[in-house]
Chain A
């Protein structure tokens, strides 16, 4: 390393500058990237006819839709489906995962089918599910749950299977009863594994909600998106897409915060 006063080859000076001003460069990069994309979006917004609209038009369209219009009621419909799906994912996924971990024969019997169902694109089962169970709310929930439950189920299963025997032995030696063993050993041990799955399911439940809404008689946010697509209202579709993206970022962020809180006592992250 040569002196810090700007001597040395060009690349050495570049390297020095990069490490000396890292914080500043970072802020500049974020600012530049946001400014560039928004600037290009705004500048070329009117260059493609009906196919594109400037950033400000998109945002005012979104503002208008949130004030009045179909987005708010649709959001309520979607939120209900999403919430019910996620609760079922967590309750059923964790329970079945724990049960399968304790019942080895049943797990061996069902495992191949779980993996095949997990790999199969659930979206292709939508017509079958609609013929079997109809197009109503619980049919939608079924589609969304099948799409989003597996990370929780398989994560819990993996966690419950990997509980070290010593932990159970120690609890038994100190005279823990069944309830105490579950409360003090099994559940705390499994929690981070389940949470890793829950974090993925938080994102997948959005996919499930949208798939159910797109393909079982359009409803909710997906119906609003399709409405804009049919009449080729680009501002409309862009506004809803950006809103969905913001929701997704927020939900995934919340999932990460909860996971970090739950795994805080582990030295290495799971998964």
Chain B
């Protein structure tokens, strides 16, 4: 039994002193671990690998020059713009189709074969056929992002609206709710946390697939620059782009978690 308790008794008898309350081991540990990982990376590259390989210090030094270049901002604008626009279109379409599938069995039966198959398919496998159909241009990126967001939103919305508790519908009917009230007054709010989860997934997949299209179809944007800078042995600049993408991805994820807590506080996960 003792072997399975918390081995580190953090909760027991904490000594006084404000610095000990603020600087708990749980708060210090990530800083120490981060410093250690960065140091290992820096030392490993400096001692074992050629100069051009990115190091933490090199990335920091490369930030001003990279941010000063206008191409960084135009890349960021077109890539993130396409991702946000694509996810918005995909989300609206996904919600409409998902609600219809969740509330009308026949629609679900009609569409589910294709929707489930496409949902299971790694969408990156669709990039080549989309490039053939849409061409080697930015529209291919937008198309892929729309599909990437549409599928998870449609599937999660369908799951969410299908699982409406019967009591909600009974109460609605008792108060004389019309079909549109049931759809947009009951079904949609019940499905809201599912929809947000779908949008979150849509963003994650949309970012990855947008980068894939940029690289495979030579469309200007952040993803292409990551690969291009690396190809020019400008590894540090390449990782500044990665850092910007990571900040965007983490920001979107935080936004989604926050909005789920705000819009559906009863739904805990």
**Chain B residue contacts of A251, Cβ below 8 A:** 120
B180 interfacial contact with A, CB 8 Å: no
A109–B113 Cα gap in the complex (Å)?
A: 44
Which residues between 154 and 213 of chain B lie within 8 Å of chain A, taking CB atoms?
204, 207-208, 211-212
B54 interfacial contact with A, CB 8 Å: yes
**Chain A residue contacts of B4, Cβ below 8 A:** 168, 172, 181
* Number of A-B pairs, beta carbon distance below 8 Å: 174
Number of interface residues of B (CB under 8 A): 65
A59 interfacial contact with B, CB 8 Å: no
What is the predominant secondary structure among interface residues of chain A facing chain B? Answer: helix
**Chain A residue contacts of B37, Cβ below 8 A:** 113
**Chain A residue contacts of B6, Cβ below 8 A:** 104
A98 interfacial contact with B, CB 8 Å: no
Interface hit among B15-23, B61-69, B227-235: B227-235
By beta carbon, the residue of chain B nearest A250 is B120
A238 interfacial contact with B, CB 8 Å: yes
A87 interfacial contact with B, CB 8 Å: no
By beta carbon, the residue of chain A nearest B254 is A119
A121–B253 Cα gap in the complex (Å)?
A: 12
A109–B176 Cα gap in the complex (Å)?
A: 55
B116 interfacial contact with A, CB 8 Å: yes
B70 interfacial contact with A, CB 8 Å: no
Task: Tell me whether A119 and B249 are in contact (CB under 8 A).
Answer: yes
Task: Tell me whether B226 and A25 are in contact (CB under 8 A).
Answer: no
Task: Tell me whether A241 and B226 are in contact (CB under 8 A).
Answer: no
What string of 1s and 0s marks CB contacts (under 8 Å) between A101-138 and chain B?
Answer: 01111101111110110011111111110111000000
By beta carbon, the residue of chain B nearest A122 is B208
**Chain A residue contacts of B250, Cβ below 8 A:** 115-116, 119-120
Task: Tell me whether B208 and A121 are in contact (CB under 8 A).
Answer: yes
A244–B118 Cα gap in the complex (Å)?
A: 10
Shortest Cβ distance from residue A22 to the other chain B in the assembled complex, whole angstroms: 7
Task: Tell me whether A33 and B26 are in contact (CB under 8 A).
Answer: no
- Given A104-B6, A105-B8, A131-B230, verify A245-B29 contact (CB < 8 Å): no
Task: Tell me whether B111 and A113 are in contact (CB under 8 A).
Answer: no
Task: Tell me whether B29 and A210 are in contact (CB under 8 A).
Answer: no
The listed residue (B29, B132, B204) touching A105 by CB distance below 8 A is B29
Task: Tell me whether B230 and A109 are in contact (CB under 8 A).
Answer: no
Task: Tell me whether B128 and A228 are in contact (CB under 8 A).
Answer: yes
What string of 1s and 0s marks CB contacts (under 8 Å) between B210-247 and chain A?
Answer: 01100110000011001101110001001101100110
B265 interfacial contact with A, CB 8 Å: no
Partner-A contacts on B (CB < 8 A): 1, 3-4, 6-8, 10, 25-26, 29-30, 32-34, 37, 49, 52-54, 105-106, 109-111, 113-114, 116-118, 120-122, 124-129, 131-133, 204, 207-208, 211-212, 215-216, 222-223, 226-227, 229-231, 235, 238-239, 241-242, 245-246, 249-250, 253
Known: A30-B113, A122-B208; 15 extra A-B contacts, CB below 8 A, are A29-B109, A103-B7, A108-B26, A108-B30, A125-B242, A127-B226, A127-B230, A128-B54, A128-B242, A132-B53, A211-B212, A214-B127, A214-B216, A244-B122, A252-B120
Sampled A-B contacts (13; CB under 8 Å): A30-B113, A51-B132, A111-B30, A112-B30, A121-B211, A121-B249, A124-B246, A127-B235, A229-B132, A244-B121, A244-B122, A244-B125, A249-B116
